[in-house]
Amino acid sequence: MISAAIGVLTPATVICAADASIPRSYSGDRLSGVVLPIEPRKGNINLNALKATAWTVDDTKRLVLDGDVIIQIAGFTFEGEQAMVWVNRIPSKDGLINQVAIWLPDAWHRTSEAGRGPKGRNLLVVGSARGKVDLNVALMVNRRLPSTGLLRQAETRLAEYLQSLQTGKPVLGQYPEVLAEAQPPEFVPTPGGTLPGEYLPTGEREAAPRPWLRQPGGVVSFSARTVKLEPGEDENLLIADGSVVLDYRPGPGETTGGLRLSSERAVVFMDPGSVRDLTSRRLSMEDVRGVYLEGAVKAESDKDDYVVRAPRMYYDFQTDRAIMLDAVLRTYDRKRALPVFARASEMKQIAENQWSAEHVTVSASSFATPTLAIGADSVFVHQVPGGLTETGPEAAGELMIDSTGNTLEAGGFPMLWWPRYSGPVVNFPLRGIRSGWGEYEGAIVETTWDFFSLAGWQRPDGWDLTFDVDGYSERGIGGGIDWEIETDGNSMAMDLYGIKDSGTQRTDTGISMDVPEDYRYAALWQQTIKLSESWLFQGQFSYISDSTYISAWREDDYRERREYETSLYLKRESRNTAFTVIGKYALNDFISNSWLIASQGYQVNKLPELSYMRFGDSLFGDLLTWSSQYNASRMQIVIPDGTPANSGLRTSTFTNPDGSPFGENEPIENAAKYQGLRQSWVNRLSTRQNISMPFQWGAFNITPFAMGQIVSYFEDDTTGGDEESRHQYYGSGGVRINTVMQRVFNDVDSSLFDLHRLRHLVEPYFLAWYSGSNYDTLDIPIYDPLFDNLSTGGVIQIGLRNTLQTQRGGPGRWYDVDWLTIDASLVLSTESEESRFPTPQFFEWEPGYSQLGNFAQGSYSWQFSDSLAFVGQGIWDLDRDTFMRAATGIELTHNPRFSTFAEYRFVNVTDTKLLAFGGNYEISDKYDIAVVPQWDFVREDFRSVQASVNRAFPDFDFIFYVNYDQVRGETRVGAQLGQVNY
């Protein structure tokens, strides 16, 4: 390594400045007589490269740097493979100033892709600094270079810049200036103008695709341990051996990326003629016919879009093609952040981001035998470029494939064959697979397949269509389809599934019973269409084979899904008004939602119901706020058919009037008759009026409010047949009062409690409310919960909410955190209070929906630190002197890989006392363990245990699980594939 200081002529020989009044011409071979308009910075100029060729012109030191060029000008860094440098010195009253000009054919920087470093072609950098000029190279050659095309291009670039300094007074720069190649002015059309000649088409339009390799102005740089030239009359051969590297760069202004080739040996085929430019180890693409590479060949994109490895490759620059034998292609799907590997006996690159291959295996694994892969007779792979989205940000490109003769391979063994696939590379036909064992299902195999992948059809935008094929050794074979559409203004989901079932089943309530039917199914559909800015359409369809199908096969839907219904809904919404029409009809005579069975216990048909609503109308200059609703309905109560026994329900779900147990074979409709329910159609009109008057009195927010509603039936025999039952009046009124007080403690700082400053918010609130009606709210059927599920009586609520806020994060990144929040209130009701359900509950936004009583309720959350949190809530019944419902929990994140939690829940009505605890431990990047047991203090046994082990493979996630459910009385063991990358 040679390290030296560059010497230049003494300052006495330097012309300090040029006379701007006398125009001069510059050849670009020196900086003599020029003062660069750059403020000199304090610091050194460091020049680093593998090789330097140096000579002197007048008072200017000339340098040509080759190989890993890194140049620093007082802390500013510029990088490239080659650079031309001019250095000279000029005197000043504060000492000598080093002026430097640098020309880089191709400049880059390690931060260029992030937009923070200089990058480009034909860049000229000018600057000056006070300090030393250091040169650090491995090989130093002191001789003048002959005038090559590259050297002339550099001198022309500098001459143009120096000539431009004479046109007007230049602005003094504070930093080294990077000058990109001047672009031609953009043509702006004007009315009545003409198109310049350079924009006019000449001749016929070229039909051939844009060249990829053979581009005008392209350059190939090369290096090797030994280089041998064999000239000939027909073509010249350049034979390189030992660590061969060829770097292809397209011409100026081209958008395609460069290409780097490396191998042990290479042969470059060139046109016959002069070989003078070989001394600079740069070849013009116009002279190169092709390149053959052999031995550990690697081709990689300049943009890191792909890497290809093969024993042998040939790039034909005349036909614009490349062929690789026994090749491995590694590319990247930026849209989904997934690597893609393709191995082929023969691969051809036909464009910058397009390949075709024969006898290929595609996977997301770098292993020679991937765990999961797609095998194909032939494949065409291409990268779809990204673009600007509708909201502005640029979207990543997507990798697409078109393959024929496909096979699904597991560990190299073919598992499934399908003829053709066309689409995104990540749309692997097998969406998921799950296998296991259940006490009532036996051996389980469930698979989900992508329809478009198997059919080889292009997926329409926003469409997703899969089908299921399942098998159960103790039950039968099932299958179905899931079809979803998500487009602008249209959302649709269809779920069709059926199974040939037999044997014994276990319902969600824990009851074992014979399968009621041989063929069981569910047909579900829902759709939302935004017809216009004002109109919205929603539709639902639901038909289920029997009353226990959902309870036995879809436990989560049975507990949590909204009501299964068939309905059409139309809404027009404009500003603060809405008009709706709904038609709703139950096609099944049973209920498949546990929450609906446990609450009102029946469904309601509506054919139709019309509603008109207005929200927040201002009266008397914003003194009053008025909201109103008007309904016209034709409705029918649908009582479930069957008995508790054949519906898979426990007899405790229903009760007789005298409180005695309901018989398991007694018709469920008898329980409805005991409540006075009937199934005939009723017609009614209803209206509700809400009015409020919010105002401030000092620091207090005060809102008096009132609500009144009228429900009128047309039938004489409604519920009781008297006048009061035909016309139901309900009214209520109250007042809300609240305020906020705060205090800031700037001197609080505790590392133990993770506190930095403290703000205490105190929010007292008060509500008084009273309601009355001309009917017993508990004796009427609930056709519409918004109008019928109301309470009467008087209530006072007194509450206080305390919030302690702090700051976390550190200087420059502080953020606010609610460190501790405690909310507690006391609710007292009159003796005339009535409640539909045993657990009291209060809703401040509409007290009429509350379950009244005398009780205290509260909740808390404590964010002790960023890794430890406590939460809880509870309701204490003052009349029964006990908790009616309570829950509390803790979550602790020990480290980013390990977290644990514990929670306790108590429900008085069902005598439930459950403690759930567990954790998630990411052992490594490949293994993840989760365990969640739940202990029942009443039964003194585990209520449930869930455990899983997740093993991450390059192609998919393998999940092994064990689930025990004491209520259902079953244990399930199985395995499934999680996220499938292929």
C-alpha torsion sign, points 358, 363, 365, 371 = negative
Ramachandran assignment for 849, one of left (phi > 0), alpha (psi -120 to 50 degrees), beta (any other): alpha
Give the strand pairing for 519-530 and 512-514. Answer: unpaired
* 732-744 residue pLDDT tens: 999 999 999 999 9
Band of residue 656 on the pLDDT scale cut at 50, 70, 90? confident
Report the Cα–Cα distance between both ends of the chain, in Å, rounded: 50
Dihedral of the alpha carbons of 272, 275, 280, 283, in degrees to the nearest 10: -10
968 Rama sector, left if φ>0, alpha if ψ -120 to 50, beta otherwise: alpha
Does one domain contain both 338 and 298? no
788-812 tens-digit pLDDT: 889 999 999 999 999 999 999 888 8
- Minimum mean pLDDT among 85-99, 126-140, 301-315, 745-759: which range? 301-315
| Shared-domain flag, residues 134 and 19 | yes
pLDDT band at 659 (very low <50, low <70, confident <90, very high): low
* Average pLDDT estimate for 768-786: 89
Please give the pLDDT value at position 299. Answer: 87
> Does residue 244 lie in a domain region?
yes
| pLDDT at residue 189, as a whole number | 61
Q: Are residues 219 and 169 in the same domain?
A: no
- Ranking 48-57, 396-405, 453-462 by mean pLDDT, the lowest is 396-405
Final residue in a domain of this structure, among 370, 399, 417:
417
Strand partners, 913: 906
Query: Which of 15-19, 100-104, 831-835 is least confident?
Result: 15-19
Question: Which residue, 179, 194, 223, sits at the end of a domain?
Answer: 179
Please tell me whether residues 388 and 264 are part of one structural domain: no
On whether residue 379 sits in a domain, the answer given is yes
Contact 237, 271 (CB under 8 A): no
Q: What is the mean pLDDT of residues 772-787?
A: 88
Domain CATH number, residue 222: 2.60.450
* C-alpha to C-alpha distances, 229 to 200, 278, 545, 566, nearest whole angstrom: 44, 9, 82, 82
Say which amino acid occupies 954.
Answer: P
Highest mean pLDDT among 276-290, 386-400, 534-548, 767-781: 534-548
In angstroms, the Cα distances linking 6 to 98, 131, 607, 640 are 11, 12, 95, 98
Look at 7-11, 140-144, 452-456, 581-585 and tell me which has the smallest mean pLDDT. Answer: 7-11
Look up residue 481 and give its two tokens.
Answer: 């389809």
264, part of any domain: yes
Concatenate the DSSP letters of all residues of 359-408 into one string.
EEEEES--SSS-SEEEEEEEEEEEEEP-EE-TTSSEEPPEEEEEEEEEEE
Same-domain check for residues 270 and 241: yes
**844 token code pair:** 């401040």
822: pLDDT confidence band, cut at 50, 70 and 90? Answer: very high
Verify that 103 and 232 share a domain, yes or no: no
Question: Domain check: are 258 and 332 in the same one?
Answer: no
> What pLDDT shows up at residue 395?
43
Give the sign of the dihedral formed by CA 291, CA 297, CA 302, CA 304: positive
- Chain centre to alpha carbon of residue 788: 43
Helix, strand or coil, per DSSP, at residue 703: strand
| Mean residue pLDDT across the chain | 84
Look at residue 916 in the predicted model and tell me its pLDDT: 95
Highest mean pLDDT among 82-96, 154-168, 763-777, 947-961: 763-777
- Which position has the token pair 């929990």? 889
Q: Mean pLDDT check: name the lowest of 72-81, 263-272, 373-382, 619-628.
A: 373-382
Judge whether residue 723 has pLDDT over 60. Answer: no
Please report the pLDDT score of residue 84 as a whole number.
92
Query: In this model, does residue 280 exceed pLDDT 70?
Result: no
Phi first, then psi, for residue 198 (nearest 5°) are -70, -15
Q: How far apart are CA 917 and CA 517, in angstroms?
A: 40
Q: Say if residue 282 is in the same domain as residue 353.
A: no
Domain that holds residue 250: 212-319
Residues 264 and 175 in one domain: no
β-bridge pairing 120-130 and 41-42:
parallel
Lowest mean pLDDT among 17-21, 316-320, 748-752: 17-21
Per-residue model confidence (pLDDT) at position 119: 73
pLDDT-derived band at 384, boundaries 50, 70, 90: low
pLDDT tens-digit readout, 435-451: 888 888 999 999 898 88
Provide, rounded to the nearest whole percent, the portion of the chain with pLDDT above 70: 85
Query: Per the structure, how many domains does the chain have?
Result: 3
Residue with tokens 């499938």: 980
One domain for residues 169 and 28: yes
Q: What is the mean pLDDT of residues 369-381?
A: 82
Q: According to the model, what pLDDT value does residue 54 have?
A: 92
Q: Is residue 934 part of a domain?
A: no
* Best mean pLDDT range from 75-84, 414-423, 528-537, 709-718: 528-537
CB 458 within 8 A of CB 443: no
Q: Which of 396, 417, 438 is the last residue before a domain boundary?
A: 417
pLDDT value for 625:
95
Determine which of 250-254, 484-488, 847-851 has the lowest per-residue pLDDT on average.
Answer: 250-254
Instruction: Using alpha carbons only, give the angle 496, 500, 503 rounded to the nearest 5 degrees.
Output: 130
Task: Compare 972 and 410 and report the one with higher pLDDT.
Answer: 972
- DSSP code of residue 322: E
Does some domain include residue 237? yes
**229 confidence band (pLDDT: 50, 70, 90):** confident
Q: Could you tell me which residue, 166 or 693, shows the higher pLDDT? A: 693
pLDDT tens by residue, 909-938: 889 999 999 999 999 988 999 999 999 999
Domain-embedded: residue 223: yes
Does residue 61 sit in the same domain as residue 152?
Answer: yes
Q: Is the pLDDT of residue 904 over 60?
A: yes
Mean pLDDT, to the nearest integer, of 619-624? 90
Which pLDDT does position 718 carry in this prediction? 47
**Domain assignment present for 852:** no
Most confident of 149-153, 158-162, 515-519, 577-581: 577-581
Least confident of 244-258, 303-317, 347-361, 534-548: 244-258
Give domain status of residue 253, yes or no. yes
Poorest-pLDDT segment among 67-76, 79-88, 253-262, 481-490: 253-262
Is-contact 542 557, C-beta < 8 A?
A: no
Distance of alpha carbon 647 from alpha carbon 978, whole angstroms: 34
User: Per mean pLDDT, which of 196-210, 540-554, 715-729 is the most reliable?
Assistant: 540-554
Phi, psi (rounded to 5 degrees) for 586:
-90, 115
pLDDT of 719 strictly over 80: no
- The total number of residues shown for the chain amounts to 982
pLDDT at 593 over 90: yes
pTM, two decimal places: 0.66
Whether 48 and 117 map to the same domain: the answer is yes
The answer, yes or no, to whether residue 978 has pLDDT greater than 50, is yes
